[in-house]
Amino acid sequence: MPEERIYLDNCVTTRPAPEVLSAMQPFLTEEFWYPASFVSTGERISAVLDEFRTTFARTINAQASEIHFTAGGTLANNIAIKGLISAVYTRGKHIICSVVDYPDLLTNAAYFENMGFEVTYLTADSEAFVSADELKKAIRPDTLLFMTTAVNHVVGTIQPLSDYARVLAEADHKIYYHVDAGQAYGKMKLDMQELGIDTMAVSGHKIHAPQGVGFLFTKKGTKLSQVIHGVRRIDNFQTGGISVALIAGFAKAAEMLFADLEGQINHLYDLSGYLLEKLEANLDHIELNGPRGTARACHNINVSIDYIEGEAIAMMLDLEGITVATGSACASQGLQPNYILMAIGKNHVQSHGSIKLTLSRYTARAQIDRVVEKLTAITRELRQRSPLYQAVIAKER
Amino acid sequence: MQYTQKVLDHFMKPHNVGKMEEPDAYATEGSPACGDQVTVYLKVNKATQIIDDISFLSYGCASNIATASIITDLAKGKTLDEAKQITWRDAVEALDGLPPIKVHCSVLAADTLQSAISNYEIANGLKEVPEFSKQTILDELKKIIYPKVGEDIITLKMVKYVGFSNGEVLIDLNIMSFDEWRENIAEEIREHLQKYPDVKDIQINFP
């Protein structure tokens, strides 16, 4: 019997918590209703949705009325970005984001570019930080929106959100501030009273809720044009149906995580620190991609293993029952190296040899030991086969 | 992406892998920047012209390793003339198929084998260093695989015109602007042709 699979791709999706599944159960059975006024079934659902809004609001120091349910993070990003621009497009035509943003933001930027808007893509430094000074320089009188990815989805860099807020507050006119918090929610403190964010997108399945649910924070007074038109059931912005059960599961996941956020973050920092330490002790010719320590998110380790290729590494680990991700072109549908790694100055070889290991509350120390042991053996094996490595050791001799 | 069991077998336990000490000939093709590189080493019996021993090294993905492994299996024990007939199609067939997006790996493996044989023949006076011509360009274009279908661009009739004079290569490709692979293919053509000292300039045109 193979051992239980070790899943270290938690940046993509996470295992739903058993408590989350239990919390969903009533809304898939006895209480399957939609919200409505005056009838008891509908009022019961309206009341629980209000409770869930309050639950989420508490996690980010916001008000319940500022929370909008969506069917996932990408929808939340689209409703916010398209809704904001549509509401203020007569005032300007300039948008700012960065080359290391999440595809949700970059594809929206490209969409508006095609529509005739102008987009400034801020560059990032070698650790994927996008500086607030660069943002300041990019602001123009016709700038409508700045959007950013709070935690980089490839190398885990935590962007300076409060510095951005300060720069935007100092601007001569109102510039809307949108944040994609897909990788950030539950991995760092996000205080809406402190950060000056206008809209923020959050995804459920990154924190052990099921796939297909998220929420959008919109600061009180922020006007968004309607992007998704239809019947109003659960939410004003995402009209139509959203699964109450999924929202209930997401609320439970948030409740569990935020009961002791600091403790969970510290626990993941301990684990990821241990993983990196072990990797660096066991493997030579490797390099950490992105920053070290608390400048990166607690769950993310991304290393380039020189002279070998990431798809081969990931496949061998897969056959050992271990799931990881790679930035190798060979593993991508477009045969292109990872755009984040290229944007922070890594070369093709470093991108090809990159392995991303992302942890969750279900990752155990013993699993990390096993992963490092297997990865060490695989690296040795693939390097034996690699002409690049053979050339290096010939030189070293 | 689905690999066949044969691909997985050759990836996990490749045949004839490792650096060969004192080979009679070898060749390295591909480049780390393109994401893959293969070296093939040969030992050839001078009297019989049979490939007595062959081995490879590979920097690349699973299919890169598997195709290099199978190509060495196919060539081992063959005469040089027989081995010269081995193509990437033979490698794909022997592996029970490859995903279309991975067929280019088999081309690299076959190409490296052919280069090693060619290097042996040149070193042993069996042939002259071939002169660069329009045919060389066509031969290189036959090694460019359209990743969506896993077939080369000559067979797919994607090449409309090839010209060569005074070091300038001119290629007209029949690939539309909305084709997501257009830039990829142009880049690969440049990589293949830039290694020839005779090529000074490459111009690739699209409709």
Q: How far is Cα A14 from Cα A205, in angstroms, rounded to an integer?
A: 6
Please compute Rg for chain B using Cα positions.
17
Q: What is the pLDDT of residue A3?
A: 66
Chain B environment of A333 (Cβ under 8 Å): 101
Q: Decide if A330 is catalytic.
A: yes
Q: What is the pLDDT of residue B195?
A: 82
Q: How does pLDDT run across B22-63, given as a tens digit for each residue?
A: 999 999 988 776 678 999 999 999 999 999 999 999 999 999
Whether residue A370 is predicted with pLDDT greater than 90 in this model: the reply is: yes
Question: Which of A306, A318, A335, A395 to mutate against chain B (most B CBs within 10 Å)?
Answer: A335
Cβ of A330 within 8 Å of Cβ of B12? The answer is: no
What does A264-300 look like in DSSP terms, one character per residue? HHHHHHHHHHHHHHHHHHH-SSEEE-S--GGGB-TTE
Question: Which of B9, B21, B57, B59 to mutate against chain A (most A CBs within 10 Å)?
Answer: B59
Whether residue A378 is predicted with pLDDT greater than 50 in this model: the reply is: yes
How far apart are the CA of B9 and the nearest CA of chain A, in angstroms?
11
The nearest alpha carbon in chain A to B11 belongs to A312
Note whether B37 contacts A: Cβ–Cβ < 8 A.
yes
Cβ of B60 within 8 Å of Cβ of A312? The answer is: yes
Strand, helix or coil for residue A158: strand
Please report the ipTM that was assigned to this predicted complex: 0.83
Average pLDDT over residues A205-211: 98
Whether residue A272 is predicted with pLDDT greater than 60 in this model: the reply is: yes
Q: How does pLDDT run across A306-362, given as a tens digit for each residue?
A: 999 999 999 999 999 999 999 887 777 777 889 999 999 998 889 999 999 999 999
Angle made by CA atoms A44, A50, A55, in degrees to the nearest 5: 125
**How long a stretch of residues is chain A?**
397
Mean pLDDT of chain A: 95
Q: What is the pLDDT of residue B36?
A: 85
Q: How does pLDDT run across B96-153, given as a tens digit for each residue?
A: 999 998 998 899 999 999 999 999 999 998 988 888 999 999 988 988 888 888 888 9
Whether residue B193 is predicted with pLDDT greater than 50 in this model: the reply is: yes
Q: How does pLDDT run across A135-163, given as a tens digit for each residue?
A: 999 999 999 999 999 999 999 999 999 99
Q: How does pLDDT run across A241-265, given as a tens digit for each residue?
A: 889 999 999 999 999 999 999 999 9
Strand B36-44 vs strand B51-59: parallel, antiparallel, or unpaired? antiparallel
Provide the 10 A C-beta neighbour count for residue B48: 10
Cβ of B37 within 8 Å of Cβ of A387? The answer is: yes
**How long a stretch of residues is chain B?**
207
**Neighbouring-strand partners of residue A69:** A215
Average pLDDT over residues B167-173: 93
Mean pLDDT of chain B: 92
Cβ of A387 within 8 Å of Cβ of B184? The answer is: no
Q: Decide if B61 is catalytic.
A: no
Whether residue A84 is predicted with pLDDT greater than 90 in this model: the reply is: yes
Percent of chain A predicted with pLDDT > 70: 99
Whether residue A1 is predicted with pLDDT greater than 50 in this model: the reply is: no
Measured in degrees and rounded to the nearest 5, phi and psi for residue B62 equal -55, -45
Question: For residue B74, which amino acid is it?
Answer: L
* CA separation, residue A44 to residues A24, A32, A36, A69, A296 (Å): 15, 11, 9, 17, 42
Average pLDDT over residues A260-271: 98
Which one is catalytic: B4, B6, B28, B34? Answer: B34
Chain B environment of A309 (Cβ under 8 Å): 35-36, 59-61, 64
Q: How does pLDDT run across A213-242, given as a tens digit for each residue?
A: 999 999 999 999 999 999 888 888 988 888
Average pLDDT over residues A171-175: 97
Chain B environment of A347 (Cβ under 8 Å): 33
Candidates A287, A294, A258; CA nearest to A350 is A287
**How confident is residue A396, by pLDDT bands cut at 50, 70 and 90?**
confident
Strand A286-288 vs strand A300-305: parallel, antiparallel, or unpaired? antiparallel
pTM, 2 dp: 0.90
Q: How far is Cα A28 from Cα A26, in angstroms, rounded to an integer?
A: 5
Chain A environment of B11 (Cβ under 8 Å): 312, 315
Q: What is the pLDDT of residue B1?
A: 58
